Each structure stands twice: as C-alpha cells, then as structure tokens.
Structure 1
Amino acid sequence: MRVRRVGSAELHARVETLADLLMDTVDGGASVGFLAPLDHPTALAWWRERAEGVAAGRLAVWVAEDGGHRVLGTVGLDFPGRPNGVHRAEVVKLMVHRDARGRGLGRTLLAAAEESAASTGITLLHLDTETESPAERFYDAAGWTRAGVVPDYAAAPDGVLRPTSIYYKRLADTPPTS
C-alpha cells in the first residue's frame, strides 16, 4: 500500500477510479455529502471540480493505492484562503474502499494529511463527521477533540437528517497568537 499526494493533472487522469471510490463509500453508508445511490456522472463531475481546487492551491489530495495502482482511499485538506485563517485547514473526504477497511489505511491517510499540514505551518485542523458513526470513533481514537454536535446538520446517504460532530486537532504545542 502506498500513500502519496497527487497533483491536478494526475487527479484528472484518475477520475474514473476516484469516482468508483466515492460511489463505494456512499453505497457503504458513509456520510460524505452525497445521497445514495450516487451515479457515476455525478461522482466524476465532483472529482473533476476537485482537480480545479488542487490546481489553484486551495486543496491538497492524497491517494492510497494497492500494488496495481488501484485507488483504495483518499483524503484532502481544504485551505480557507482567507488572511485570518492561514493557520488552519479542513480535513475533507477521508474515504476508504469497503474492501480495504480494517487495515489501518484510514489512519495512514489521516497521518499523511496531518504531517503535511504541520510541515507547511498549519497549526489547526478541523472536520465534521456524522455523530455516533464509525468515523466518529475513528477520530476519537486518532486523538482528535470533539468540539460539539450540530443537530440535523446533514442528510446521511439514506436521506435521513443526522447530527454532525465537529472535531479539531492542534498540530503545534503553542496556540496561535492573536
């Protein structure tokens, strides 16, 4: 298994396999912003839009591949691009294919994003995830802090509104100066 950051050209070249990963994630019940069933054209279009964000420097994307270069997981960092937020980024779309779960791939992807963020001066990461989901337990175990819960924040893939937990993680021992 190999985890690496990809640029916009490679992301464009890999949209088919990335779309398959997104569809598998949604079909598996993960709340990543889409309702089930997610169709292939919608998944392709979503990934093509992400390539534009990567090209503009607003988004960083990592992929996890098996030996045959099949994408089994991905994670992104979304940079706010505002002067008062250059110290933070949002972890977005941490996805692991159902066939690859339970092998530490999610933790490896998250660590890659955290390490890269810290190396570029990011001191605070944040994310949201469905409350009481396996993802929430994952972030708890990875040392993230739950800041609170927003009721009825997002619809799960089945269309039912669910609460969302907001998490953060400081990447530096020293809090940012005001």
Structure 2
Amino acid sequence: MSGTVYVVDEVTAEELDGSVGEFAGLLTETVDGGASVGFLAPLDPDESAVWWRALVPEVAAGRLVLWTARAAADGRLAGTVQLRPATPANGRHRGEVAKLMVHPADRGHRLAGRLLAALEERAAESGIRLLVLDTETGSPAERMYEAEGWTRVGSVPDYAADTTGVLHPTTIFFKSLVR
C-alpha cells in the first residue's frame, strides 16, 4: 500500500447519510482494534451505524464538520476526523477536534496529519482561532498530536474507559491557529 494515493475532502450531510455503512465499518474496526474513541469493544456494527446516522442532522446544521480520507483508486474510506465548532457567544473562536480515525490498513501514510491539516485550514477560514482535543495518555495518538504541533496542557486521571472498560487518563491538547 505504500503507493496508495489518498484524497481528503469535507463531507456533506447527504454524503454521510449515503455512506453510513462505510463509516460504521471504520468505527467498528477502529474500536475493535483497541482505539479509545468513546466506545467499548466489541462494537456492534448496527450500533455504530445508528451513531453515525444521528450525526447527519449535526452536519446539515453546521454543528459538526466532517472530513474523509479516501483511497483515490477505489474510493475506499481510509480515515475521518470531526470538528465541533463551539456555539456559546463567548466561544465562537474555538472548536473541538473529535473522532480522528485511520483504518489500520492505512496507517503509516500520514493520513492523520493530512486530515488535521484540512480541519485546521477550514477552521481558520471560518474564524476559529483555537482548537482543543483530548486523547488517551500514552497512546500512539498522543505522540502523533505532539508531532503535528499540538501543545500538551496536562492530563486528567481516570477520564475515560478504554475499549475494554478500564479507566485511563486523558491528555488535553490545544493548537492556536493564529499565525
């Protein structure tokens, strides 16, 4: 797969609705592979599909912005990331990054970095100046965020359960988009 070319695009509500099964498959494989993205393993694919389907109105209303990375040759879903712009009047300058996932077969191609770059560019264009996120302390994701220029704020003990239900600390990161 070293020669695989990927395309990163923002996803409309209609596109998400038409691809719920694909997104559900990615989420299920990610969780069943041990990534802590808010679900316990084994994740039922139907439960995963219900979760994605519930996001369609959020995307349609602009309360959630979603990107995909797809293999250019066959359109296969290789990764995704979400931006949740803050809605309070005093927080419209910030947003939260959520559910960054790269299919296990597509890791090692810097897709996470490309998805984050697309998100950061769109966030800055829409007036968002500050991004925040959290990730499991000690995870590969934590190292990736550091490599992508995110600043570690600290950690919170016993913040979230991993896919097996064991509590772990989470690390909070931020990134300023002001250049």
TM-score range, shorter chain: over 0.9
Corresponding position of 1:16: 21
Paired residues, number: 173
1:124 aligns with 2:141: no
Q: How does 1:93-132 map to 2 (within 5 A)?
A: 93-132=99-138
2:10 to 5, 18, 25: 5
Corresponding position of 1:171: 177
Q: How does 1:16-95 map to 2 (within 5 A)?
A: 16-66=21-71, 67-95=73-101
| Whole-angstrom CA distance in 1 between matches of 2:30 and 2:108 | 14
CA contact (8 A) 2:12 2:60 kept: yes
How many Å apart are 1:77 and its aligned residue? 0.2
CA contact (8 A) 2:142 2:171 kept: yes
**What is the root-mean-square deviation of aligned Cα atoms in Å?**
0.7
What is the identity, as a one-letter code, of the residue corresponding to 1:70?
R
How many Å apart are 1:79 and its aligned residue? 1.4
| Whole-angstrom CA distance in 2 between matches of 1:28 and 1:85 | 35
TM-score relative to the length of structure 2: 0.95
Q: SS of the counterpart of 1:140?
A: helix
How many Å apart are 1:28 and its aligned residue? 1.3
Deviations 1:106-139 (A, max 9, x none): 1100111011101111100000000010000000
| Whole-angstrom CA distance in 2 between matches of 1:92 and 1:15 | 18
| Whole-angstrom CA distance in 1 between matches of 2:167 and 2:54 | 26
Identity of aligned residues (%): 55
| Whole-angstrom CA distance in 2 between matches of 1:143 and 1:28 | 26
Structure 1 stretches of 4+ with a deviation exceeding 3 A read: none
| Whole-angstrom CA distance in 1 between matches of 2:102 and 2:149 | 19
Corresponding position of 1:140: 146
| Whole-angstrom CA distance in 1 between matches of 2:54 and 2:167 | 26
How many Å apart are 1:56 and its aligned residue? 1.1
Corresponding position of 1:176: none
